[in-house]
């Protein structure tokens, strides 16, 4: 940890040095780019986000315009693919062209905060009061809040209502019931369950609810608790209850298999609702993920985009940007956002408003209080652990080693 802090200060100092001229220009009242009035008043803000597809692209465009109008500024928005935004933002920090508002995936907060590219929201008067602790953790770096996240997403068990009814099977609530149901529903070319276990962060994301719910931890993955969770996945593959192709399937592939009738159940998230809606013949319901034992708590990872204020060095612009970020995260906008984009408000008290409009969201609302941040414990060292986890999963599922050995090997590099 001490080494990481030293590195962060070095990189952060470099970025702050690069942004210092911008700060001096702002303090001098200059605003040659036309983004402010002649008296230095901030009249427009630049926004960069990753919402390039519908419905998010249009929704956030309208929301940002409305929040800008509420705060007396116009919004100049630029949307880029998610895979490009971190490299682009770091480049912008170096060239002193950071946007005033930046939306990123919440696991990326630590990396940008460590680089000094984000402003602490607490210094701008922004708080995360009422937001679930796991979400706050995901947006915090070294005890400072850097992001405000209106909604989140996680994982649940989707099941084909007709197939389970025909087999007389209730949605499984424990790991033992999951194995039994998956075996009974496996017939012909149809598997009982499908999940995603590719050698990417997506594979880690899908495994985390099993690891965390059984007491496993990313700070030390070579434990009996994590091995037991991995053994469950190994057993599902080796028994034929799920396809060996899970080693390569992304979550969209899993959804395709479910829609095609090749899987009776699947582990997936609410972002699949629009695609499922295009296939009305598929009758499905959503249940919470099974817990290791009856009555156990399911601890799932949280996803979703968060809104940050980059460290531009201009206090007036940062203050105005913070006001727009707060507007995007108002209670009313949280609920509207969740209903539009198939997600869940990060304030647990607002969840029932979403369920009243869309009962499918109940399984996702229920887990919000126990959602866990992927980066809270390891922060900018999380990518190393995430890589070790999906590496161990791949090794064990291909029979290259037992779960215990695979986890030990992956952790030791």
pLDDT of residue 90 exceeding 70, the answer is: yes
Q: Please state the rounded mean pLDDT for residues 383-396.
A: 96
Q: How confident is the model at residue 325 (pLDDT cuts 50, 70, 90)?
A: very high
pLDDT of residue 244 exceeding 50, the answer is: yes
Q: What is the pLDDT of residue 277?
A: 94
Q: What is the pLDDT of residue 225?
A: 98
For 22-152, where are the E strands, in sequence order? 44-49, 74-79, 101-105, 140-141, 144-145, 147-148, 151-152
Q: What is the pLDDT of residue 116?
A: 94
Q: Are residues 115 and 221 in the same domain?
A: no
Residue environment code for 72-82, b if the CB has 16+ CB neighbours within 10 A, otherwise e: ebebebebeeb
pLDDT of residue 64 exceeding 60, the answer is: yes
Residue with tokens 């509207």: 336
The Cα 260–Cα 413 span in angstroms is: 39
Whether the Cβ atoms of residue 40 and residue 29 lie closer than 8 Å to each other = yes
Q: Are residues 165 and 313 in the same domain?
A: no
Q: Are residues 285 and 392 in the same domain?
A: yes
Q: Please state the rounded mean pLDDT for residues 77-104.
A: 93
pLDDT of residue 78 exceeding 90, the answer is: yes
| 59: in domain | yes
Q: Are residues 247 and 330 in the same domain?
A: no
Range of the domain at 389: 156-302+377-412
Q: What is the pLDDT of residue 81?
A: 86
Distance of CA 223 to the CA centre of its chain: 25
Whether the Cβ atoms of residue 253 and residue 196 lie closer than 8 Å to each other = yes
Q: What is the pLDDT of residue 30?
A: 32
Q: Are residues 253 and 388 in the same domain?
A: yes
Q: Are residues 59 and 180 in the same domain?
A: no
Q: Please state the rounded mean pLDDT for residues 66-86.
A: 94
| 359: in domain | no
Backbone angles phi, psi at 280, to 5 degrees: -65, -15
Runs of H (alpha helix) within 101-250: 109-114, 133-138, 161-167, 175-185, 201-213, 224-238
Backbone angles phi, psi at 203, to 5 degrees: -65, -40
Q: How confident is the model at residue 39 (pLDDT cuts 50, 70, 90)?
A: low
Domain count, the chain: 2
What pTM was estimated for this model as a whole? Answer: 0.81
Whether the Cβ atoms of residue 174 and residue 290 lie closer than 8 Å to each other = yes
Q: How confident is the model at residue 22 (pLDDT cuts 50, 70, 90)?
A: very low
Q: Are residues 177 and 254 in the same domain?
A: yes
Least confident interval from 52-66, 98-112, 187-201, 366-380: 366-380
Length of the chain: 413
The Cα 312–Cα 400 span in angstroms is: 49
Domain boundary among 342, 362, 391: 342
| 125: in domain | yes
Domain boundary among 342, 368, 400: 342
pLDDT of residue 50 exceeding 60, the answer is: yes
Q: Are residues 312 and 259 in the same domain?
A: no
Does the N-terminal peptide bond of residue 55 adopt cis geometry, omega within 30 degrees of 0?
A: yes
The Cα 339–Cα 50 span in angstroms is: 19
Task: Please report how many Cα atoms fall inside a 13 Å half-sphere around the Cα of residue 166, on the Cβ side.
Answer: 11
The Cα 164–Cα 170 span in angstroms is: 7
Encoded tokens for 340: 């539009």
| 57: in domain | yes
The Cα 173–Cα 396 span in angstroms is: 25
Q: What is the pLDDT of residue 204?
A: 97
What is the overall mean pLDDT for the chain? 90
pLDDT of residue 12 exceeding 50, the answer is: no
Q: Given CA atoms 50, 54, 59, 61 in this order, what sign does their dihedral have?
A: positive
The Cα 400–Cα 279 span in angstroms is: 38
Whether the Cβ atoms of residue 76 and residue 45 lie closer than 8 Å to each other = yes
| 60: in domain | yes
Q: What is the pLDDT of residue 133?
A: 92
Least confident interval from 54-58, 120-124, 269-273, 345-349: 54-58
The Cα 385–Cα 228 span in angstroms is: 18
Q: Please state the rounded mean pLDDT for residues 210-222.
A: 98
pLDDT of residue 236 exceeding 90, the answer is: yes
Encoded tokens for 73: 């500024």
Q: Are residues 260 and 313 in the same domain?
A: no
Instruction: Give the percent of the chain with pLDDT over 90.
Output: 81
- CATH code of the domain containing 386: 3.40.190.10
Strand partners, 244: none
Q: What is the pLDDT of residue 47?
A: 98
Q: Are residues 297 and 389 in the same domain?
A: yes
Q: Which of 5, 413, 410 is nearest to 216 (CA)?
A: 410
Q: Are residues 273 and 387 in the same domain?
A: yes
| 248: in domain | yes
Helix (H), strand (E), coil (C) string for 233-266? HHHHHHCCCCCHHHHCCCHHHHHHHHHCCCEEEE
| 94: in domain | yes
Q: Are residues 234 and 331 in the same domain?
A: no
Distance of CA 100 to the CA centre of its chain: 22
The enclosing H or E element of 157 equals strand 156-160
| 106: in domain | yes
């Amino acid at each position: 940890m001490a080494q990481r802090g030293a590195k962060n200060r070095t990189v952060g100092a470099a970025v702050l040095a690069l942004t210092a001229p911008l700060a001096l220009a702002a303090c001098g009242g200059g605003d040659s780019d036309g983004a402010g009035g002649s008296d230095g008043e901030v009249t427009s803000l630049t926004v960069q986000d990753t919402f390039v597809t519908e419905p998010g692209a249009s929704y956030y465009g309208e929301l940002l315009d409305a929040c800008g109008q509420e705060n007396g500024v116009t919004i100049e928005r630029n949307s880029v693919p998610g895979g490009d935004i971190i490299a682009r933002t770091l480049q912008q920090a170096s060239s002193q062209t950071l946007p005033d508002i930046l939306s990123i995936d919440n696991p990326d907060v630590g990396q940008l905060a460590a680089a000094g590219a984000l402003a602490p929201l607490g210094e701008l008067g922004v708080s995360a009061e009422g937001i679930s602790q796991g979400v706050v953790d995901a947006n915090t770096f070294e005890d400072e809040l850097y992001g405000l996240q209106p909604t989140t997403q996680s994982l649940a068990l989707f099941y084909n209502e007709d197939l389970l009814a025909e087999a007389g099977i209730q949605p499984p609530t424990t790991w033992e019931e999951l194995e039994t149901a998956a075996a009974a529903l496996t017939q012909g070319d149809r598997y009982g369950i499908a999940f995603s276990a590719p050698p990417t962060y997506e594979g880690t994301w899908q495994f985390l609810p099993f690891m965390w719910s059984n007491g496993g931890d990313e700070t030390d993955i070579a434990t009996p608790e994590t091995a037991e969770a991995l053994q469950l996945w190994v057993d599902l593959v080796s028994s034929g209850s799920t396809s060996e192709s899970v080693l390569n399937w992304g979550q969209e592939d899993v959804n395709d298999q479910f829609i095609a009738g090749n899987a009776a159940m699947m582990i997936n998230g609410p972002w699949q609702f629009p695609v499922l809606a295009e296939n009305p013949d598929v009758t499905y319901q959503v249940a919470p993920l099974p817990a290791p034992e009856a009555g156990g708590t399911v601890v799932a990872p949280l996803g979703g985009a968060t809104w940050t204020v980059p460290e531009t060095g201009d206090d007036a612009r940062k203050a105005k940007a913070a006001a727009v970020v707060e507007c995007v995260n108002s209670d009313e906008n949280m609920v509207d956002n969740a209903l539009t984009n198939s997600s869940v408000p990060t304030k647990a008290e607002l969840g029932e408003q979403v369920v009243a409009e869309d009962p499918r969201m109940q399984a996702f609302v229920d887990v919000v209080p126990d959602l866990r941040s992927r980066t809270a414990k390891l922060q900018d060292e999380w990518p190393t652990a995430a890589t070790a986890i999906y590496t161990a999963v791949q090794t064990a599922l291909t029979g290259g080693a037992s779960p215990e050995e695979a986890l030990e090997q992956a952790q030791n590099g």
